[in-house]
Structure 1
Amino acid sequence: MKFEAFISGTFVQQYEYKSFTPTPVNREWTWDDPRINSLLEETTRSLAELDAFSKMVPDVDRYIYMHVVKEANTSSRIEGTRTEMDDALRDRMHVAEEKRDDWQEVHNYIEAMNVAIRELAELPLSNRLLRKTHDILMRGVRGERKTPGEFRRSQNWIGGASLKDAVFIPPHHDELPELLSDLEKFWHNEEIHVPHIIRVAISHYQFETIHPFLDGNGRIGRLLITLYLISAGLLSKPCLYLSAHMEKHKGQYYDALTGVRMSNDIGHWVRFFLVAVRDTARNGVATFRNIMALKELCAQKVLSLGARSANGQKLLETLYMSPVTTGKRVAQNLDISQPTANTLIAEMVRLGILEEMTGQQRNREYLFTEYYRLFLD
């Protein structure tokens, strides 16, 4: 199927509305657009460089956690949560009460991603894995009553207050088994010659169009991108936080998806997706470079602490995993007394490594500010 000849689907009359049935995607795909060839080459090269950095950086899992937090927070924010990165890194008890439900959604996403990636070590990417991931994502948060972990058995819609004024109505639930089976086959079909990055671009569009869950489709669909790239061997770690690009270009993101459904323009969507992956991968490489430079600088500063330098280095290592800390957490992590922890924190503040972030005299929290800022762009 050529992109230029693609017909995205048909509108099917239901009782009082028309749902959209997308064309199956498990097929050979080609295109005439030379822009896609150039972007595909650039994107593949950038993604390979990012993956190489994730393998070269010592103890990389310490830094990967922040990538996962950024992806979880941004993907959830696209769906309406108000949690910022620093909120997501704090203990729940330190988060404002009105933000705790949003905090839980972000942490569900983190757990869902981590569990799904562990599962990929033993199992192939599948609809079964997506259902399990969805169950974790929706646990104890808004949407928890909308059959977590199960594909929908009723009609849903996007935009508007009801089916009558919906912006888009996905396929009828009776069509889901066939459409989802086709999508899963597309992920693993070795008889077609479609580059993996093109496959995941098409897969994300198709998943969002099928909209198989009653809630949480946007987050699962974006998480699917990371899972696919890892399962296909293009990434070793979840270090591509694509949701940041999609949030920054939210209007273009939704317009590109809608353009496929309404105008059959899958080429435009693929170009948007390739640019998103390319630019995000380049930013990821820059982040890794900056992390290594900051790590060397901070290590030199900590050496000036003399007898406290050993504990200072241990504290730094915990801060790379999570740059928000408290005196109590430092004491527990380093197995030192509370007064010793408080003194160490004061020294790290003096060195400009930590910054007190509450302005309070009690229940103080401290931020590894320069490291945290590396993940804000």
Structure 2
Amino acid sequence: MAVEGITKLPITIKNDEATKLFMQLSNISGEIGRLDEKYKSSMLQSGFINLLALNESVQSTRIEGTQVTFTDMIEQSNKTDKNSNYIEVMNYQKALLVGEERIKNGYPITTRLILELHSILIDGARGSNLSPGDFRKIENWIGPTKKREDAVYIPIAANEIEEYLSNWETYANGLPYDRKMSLDHLGTVEGMVLDEDTHPLLKIAILHAQFESIHPFLDGNGRLGRILIALYMMQTKQISAPLFFVSEELETKRAKYYALLNKTRGNRPDWYSWLHFFLEASERMTNRLNKLLDDANTIARSGLKKCKTTSEKHVYLYTFSNPNATAPIVAKTLGISQTTARRALNSLADYDLIYRDQSMIRNIQYFNYDVLELINKK
């Protein structure tokens, strides 16, 4: 029998469950802090972050069934004809970067931003014929088939979406003048209330589950919900860039991810199991990202020692944001001549820092396989 609807925020959990979560949280918070410091001191910074954002885009769309890989995206990047999977992944990355710009300019995550990002996310991709940038007007359900009787979850009615998203937005951003959110929906409060002053990492876990449960759009809810995780961690100053990516960890346990989300729904939600799962995934991914940044900086420092000119250094660092490079693209991006770009790329290939694809006569492609292997390493 399908679970129907959700309760509003804030939520409560048992006191002993809260103790366990806060113990988990103390370890992860330190790792996130270290990750942010490594990012701010890295010579790679935004370029490499864009590459990580691309990988996040791949992993998030894979959760929803696409078969594209990170390597596929790199190999297609210089091709004229782009398939639908490529467009979907690039839309995800574009929405993530637009969201980053809005957060940096001081705009909080609101319904208005959510609608804007949704419009970008499904532009010309899967779901583009299903009201991009607009809330659903009809009932929908989640299940293995298109039949309502096979549904595992039936979200709130379409006419309740704005009410529930307003509650979601208030929980995310708080009320003015230090006012507190109402707890009337909780009845007699037992245990601990995880209110709007709760640690941001627990809050985004709750916000993510609640957003997926509200299911405000006919398509793109999961992808947009995972974008909001990275953006909220930025908004709350936990990290300086949209670097907190958990989709890769969630993708590896997709069935459990969906099952635990479903347990947060209905009249008797189990929030602890979901929050424990999310914190575990966050810890694994934060550890991986910390190591990834360390390894990338080590590779970059070693490679720069082999470079003999300023142009070679700039072009080499560029390949950490685009490991499939051509002279015209490098020239355009870095504002140098194609001759200078080609000379630098050929020199880097001679130093064995990148690979020159000899099968091409024009628009020769150069691959930084050190970076590709780093991202693909599990």
TM score, norm. by length of structure 1: 0.86
Partner of 2:237: 233
Q: Displacement of 1:22 after TM fit?
A: 0.1
Alignment-mate amino acid for residue 239 of structure 1: L
Of the three residues 89, 94, 97, the one matched with 1:114 is 97
Partner of 2:327: 327
Alignment-mate amino acid for residue 122 of structure 2: M
Kindly indicate whether the alpha-carbon contact (under 8 Å) linking 1:211 and 1:217 is maintained by their aligned counterparts in 2: yes
Q: Displacement of 1:328 after TM fit?
A: 2.9
1:286 is the counterpart of 2:302? no
Kindly indicate whether the alpha-carbon contact (under 8 Å) linking 1:311 and 1:334 is maintained by their aligned counterparts in 2: no
Kindly indicate whether the alpha-carbon contact (under 8 Å) linking 2:202 and 2:275 is maintained by their aligned counterparts in 1: yes
Q: Displacement of 1:28 after TM fit?
A: 6.2
SS at match of 1:119: helix
1:133 is the counterpart of 2:137? no
Summarize the alignment of residues 215-226 of structure 1 with structure 2, pairs less than 5 Å apart: 215-226=219-230
363-372 vs 238-247, which moves further: 363-372
Partner of 1:4: none
Q: Displacement of 1:161 after TM fit?
A: 1.9
Question: Structure 1 residues 364, 169: CA separation in 2 closer, same or farther (over 3 Å shift)?
Answer: farther
Q: Displacement of 1:59 after TM fit?
A: 5.2
Alignment-mate amino acid for residue 311 of structure 2: N
Of the three residues 256, 260, 279, the one matched with 1:274 is 279
TM score, norm. by length of structure 2: 0.86
CA–CA distance in structure 2, aligned partners of residues 183 and 171 of structure 1: 14
Kindly indicate whether the alpha-carbon contact (under 8 Å) linking 1:25 and 1:186 is maintained by their aligned counterparts in 2: yes
Q: Displacement of 1:327 after TM fit?
A: 3.2
Q: Displacement of 1:26 after TM fit?
A: 2.8
Summarize the alignment of residues 9-28 of structure 1 with structure 2, pairs less than 5 Å apart: 20-26=4-10
Q: Displacement of 1:282 after TM fit?
A: 1.3
Q: Displacement of 1:267 after TM fit?
A: 0.6
Kindly indicate whether the alpha-carbon contact (under 8 Å) linking 1:157 and 1:166 is maintained by their aligned counterparts in 2: yes
Summarize the alignment of residues 188-207 of structure 1 with structure 2, pairs less than 5 Å apart: 188-189=173-174, 191=180, 192=195, 193-207=197-211
Q: Displacement of 1:213 after TM fit?
A: 0.6
Summarize the alignment of residues 25-64 of structure 1 with structure 2, pairs less than 5 Å apart: 25-26=9-10, 31-33=15-17, 34-58=19-43, 60-64=45-49
Partner of 1:351: 351
CA–CA distance in structure 2, aligned partners of residues 330 and 364 of structure 1: 12
1:87 is the counterpart of 2:72? yes
Kindly indicate whether the alpha-carbon contact (under 8 Å) linking 1:158 and 1:166 is maintained by their aligned counterparts in 2: yes
Q: Displacement of 1:351 after TM fit?
A: 2.0
Question: Structure 1 residues 224, 357: CA separation in 2 closer, same or farther (over 3 Å shift)?
Answer: farther
Partner of 1:169: 154
Alignment-mate amino acid for residue 144 of structure 1: S
CA RMSD between the two structures: 2.3
Of the three residues 243, 248, 254, the one matched with 1:250 is 254
Alignment-mate amino acid for residue 28 of structure 2: T
CA–CA distance in structure 1, aligned partners of residues 363 and 142 of structure 2: 43
Alignment-mate amino acid for residue 335 of structure 1: I
Q: Displacement of 1:30 after TM fit?
A: 5.9
Partner of 2:366: 366
CA–CA distance in structure 2, aligned partners of residues 247 and 359 of structure 1: 35
321-330 vs 213-222, which moves further: 321-330
Alignment-mate amino acid for residue 259 of structure 2: D
Kindly indicate whether the alpha-carbon contact (under 8 Å) linking 1:66 and 1:322 is maintained by their aligned counterparts in 2: yes
Q: Displacement of 1:359 after TM fit?
A: 4.7
Kindly indicate whether the alpha-carbon contact (under 8 Å) linking 2:304 and 2:313 is maintained by their aligned counterparts in 1: yes
Q: Displacement of 1:92 after TM fit?
A: 4.9
| Superposed CA offset, 1:68-100 (max 9, x none) | 1111121112122232223334565527x5x62
Question: Structure 1 residues 358, 241: CA separation in 2 closer, same or farther (over 3 Å shift)?
Answer: farther
Question: Structure 1 residues 146, 19: CA separation in 2 closer, same or farther (over 3 Å shift)?
Answer: farther
CA–CA distance in structure 2, aligned partners of residues 260 and 295 of structure 1: 44
Alignment-mate amino acid for residue 369 of structure 1: Y
Kindly indicate whether the alpha-carbon contact (under 8 Å) linking 2:357 and 2:365 is maintained by their aligned counterparts in 1: yes
359-368 vs 271-280, which moves further: 359-368
Kindly indicate whether the alpha-carbon contact (under 8 Å) linking 2:300 and 2:317 is maintained by their aligned counterparts in 1: no
Aligned pairs, number: 353
- Consecutive aligned runs of 4 or more in structure 1 exceeding 6 Å deviation: none
CA–CA distance in structure 1, aligned partners of residues 11 and 21 of structure 2: 18
CA–CA distance in structure 1, aligned partners of residues 86 and 251 of structure 2: 18
